[in-house]
Amino acid sequence: MAATWLRRWLVFLVVALLAFEVLIPIANASYSIQDGMVSSGQAMPSIRIAGSPFDGLGDRHREKDFSLRVDPTIQTILVGEKANYAVMVTAIGDFDDRVELALYGLPSNMRAAFHPDSEECPFDSTLEIVTDSKASPGAYTLNITGSSRRKIHFTLVTLVLVSKGIPSADFSIAASPSSLTIDPGQNAQYAVTLTSLNGFSGNISLSLTGAPSDSTSSFDPEEVSLDGKKVASSTLSVSTKQSTAPGTYTLVITGVAEAAGLTHQTTVALILTGAKTALSVTISTERLSYEVGDSVNLFGYVKDPSGPVGDATVSIQAVHTMGPTIHIVYVRTRNDGYYSDSFRLGVDAKPGTYAVSVAASKPGYQDAFGQCTFSVGASSTPNIVITSVYTTDMRWNKKDVFHPGDTLMVWVEVVNTGADLVDGIVWVQIVDPNGVPIKVDFHVGTIAGGQTVKEGFSIALSIGAPEGDYRVTCFISNKMISEGGKFLTTMEGKFAVS
């Protein structure tokens, strides 16, 4: 009997081991995009219109990206010393493009270098920052940016400079972000950082002034201690109501070390938008190109989210992009929000591109700004105009309301009536209702003179995407801003998530 049971247990053990060997590899299998088919973990790539100069540029970069990480994120050194940060550039997928590193926000009396400053991904680099004896003590926020041909990422680090010698003990106070934009009824949070200078130790109480009258604010904690620690932090929360008046509020954060008789302040901005107070303005010319002696007719509308805004003032300035202002005027809108103006080009009007800028304002509303361009004669520079920004579902049906988990398309239509824009960049940035950018993407290609280009960008909303209005901002630049480029034109759009 014992031998029979022993044989049965041995058979059971062999079967279990075979099942383990077969099933475990299946459970650990990975899924990827093969031959254009999207499988588990899919991310919808950008879709392009046939005939676009950007066709084919993004296909080999789908599902590829890189991440940027820095260690440490905060350092404290003496004036005249140097600090080193380890920068890790990590590939996501099989991303292997060259990534260039750059540093922004470095004050005078300091110099910095990356070792190396660019490599094919992945790679590690060291950022070395050297200060001299004239550098001012304090806390500095530095922006480390990594950019490839089609991707940009950045991260922030803090460098705290402490005076040499034996100066009096003190502390510094800083807060980030420097500005937040929210809707009435939403909450805003700021990170407050207090730094010990020259061995300061003691308790610091925090207070706030400048918040909206019907809002509530608190610090967590309300009092911090700097006994031997170089840095302490607190979170400032500001809660608004639906009835809170829209506008820009300057919040003054005060830190008081009563025992030491020290007081320091820092400021941040809280911007409250409102459906009845945010103006929008459009500006157009009836043609995109003119000849010397022609009349230029301008027109547009001023609105708020509830409809047209009458009796708003519109300030207009027309200027040659390489020369002087040629026309200024001040007009008012009709009851339907419409305004117009016209002027004649003189016989001495220079060929090239002209920009028309407008500013719309009305008491009780936030100002709005707009711009358009037109060309005169044969232009030696590009004249780029974004004519439309809109959203669709993945079947290209126009719609502006989506749900968490949806995938949508943002479309940008661009026309060039000037010279060819070689290697122009079409940018799209999407910001959620909390003011957080959730996507920055771009396409690169030539936009020839006389050509109209339509570019599509896809975005997959997360299941937990916050409900509300999402802002879509489109830009056209002549090259990367980090490489000395500039934005030539911009247009905004929006969609809602409910």
* Cβ neighbours of 209 (radius 10 Å): 12
Q: Are 172 and 195 in contact (CB under 8 A)?
A: yes
Bigger pLDDT: 320 vs 333 = 333
d(Cα 118, Cα 480) in Å, to the nearest integer? 16
What is the per-residue pLDDT for 428? 94
Rounded alpha-carbon distances, angstroms, from residue 155 to 125, 230, 277: 14, 22, 34
Q: Is the pLDDT of residue 117 over 60?
A: yes
What is the per-residue pLDDT for 229? 62
Residue 294 DSSP code:
P
Sequence letter at residue 272: L
The percent of residues above 70 in pLDDT, for the chain, comes to 85
Q: Which helix (H) or strand (E) holds 440?
A: strand 437-447
What is the per-residue pLDDT for 230? 74
**Highest mean pLDDT of the ranges 2-6, 18-22, 44-48:** 2-6
Sequence letter at residue 261: G
Maximum alpha-carbon separation in the chain: 116
The percent of residues above 90 in pLDDT, for the chain, comes to 32
Residue 482 DSSP code:
G
Q: Are 298 and 356 in contact (CB under 8 A)?
A: yes
What is the per-residue pLDDT for 21? 43
Q: In this structure, what token pair is assigned to residue 491?
A: 């247009």
Mean pLDDT calculated for residue range 63-75: 83
d(Cα 175, Cα 187) in Å, to the nearest integer? 16
Residue 339's pLDDT band (boundaries 50, 70, 90)? very high
What is the per-residue pLDDT for 279? 86
Q: In this structure, what token pair is assigned to residue 172?
A: 């510094």
Burial class (CB in 10 A: 0-12, 13-18, 19+), 379: buried
pLDDT in tens, 355-397: 899 999 988 787 889 888 888 887 677 878 888 899 999 998 9
Q: In this structure, what token pair is assigned to residue 480?
A: 């990367």
pLDDT in tens, 149-198: 878 888 888 888 877 655 677 888 999 888 888 888 889 999 999 888 87
Summary mean pLDDT of the chain: 81
What is the per-residue pLDDT for 221? 92
What is the per-residue pLDDT for 277? 63
Q: Are 64 and 94 in contact (CB under 8 A)?
A: yes
Q: Is the pLDDT of residue 140 over 60?
A: yes
Residue 74's pLDDT band (boundaries 50, 70, 90)? confident
Residue 449's pLDDT band (boundaries 50, 70, 90)? confident
Q: Are 49 and 454 in contact (CB under 8 A)?
A: yes
Nearest to 136 by CA among 157, 113, 163, 158: 163
Mean pLDDT calculated for residue range 444-459: 88
Between 27-41, 98-112, 229-243, 264-278, the lowest mean confidence (pLDDT) is in: 27-41
Q: Are 192 and 240 in contact (CB under 8 A)?
A: no
What is the per-residue pLDDT for 387? 84
Q: Which helix (H) or strand (E) holds 90?
A: strand 82-92
Q: Strand runs (DSSP E) across 122-230, as ranges? A: 123-131, 138-147, 152-162, 170-176, 179-182, 187-197, 203-209, 216-220, 223-225
pLDDT in tens, 296-324: 999 999 998 778 999 999 999 999 877 78
Residue 482's pLDDT band (boundaries 50, 70, 90)? confident
Sequence letter at residue 66: F
Q: Is the pLDDT of residue 34 over 50?
A: no
Nearest to 413 by CA among 446, 372, 453: 453
Q: In this structure, what token pair is assigned to residue 341?
A: 């103006």
Mean pLDDT calculated for residue range 24-53: 35
Bigger pLDDT: 161 vs 406 = 406
What is the per-residue pLDDT for 354? 86
**Domains within the chain, CATH numbers bracketed:** 64-162 (2.60.40.10), 170-272 (2.60.40.10), 275-380 (2.60.40.1930), 382-498 (2.70.50.60)
pLDDT in tens, 457-468: 999 999 999 999
What is the per-residue pLDDT for 6? 47
Residue 28's pLDDT band (boundaries 50, 70, 90)? very low
Q: Is the pLDDT of residue 38 over 90?
A: no
Categorise residue 259: left if φ over 0, alpha if ψ from -120 to 50, beta otherwise. alpha
Q: Is the pLDDT of residue 228 over 70?
A: no
> How distant is the alpha carbon of residue 26 from its chain centre?
41
* Residue listed under structure tokens 């926020």: 141
Bigger pLDDT: 75 vs 55 = 75
What is the per-residue pLDDT for 51? 38
What φ, ψ does residue 384 adopt, rounded to 5°?
A: -100, 130
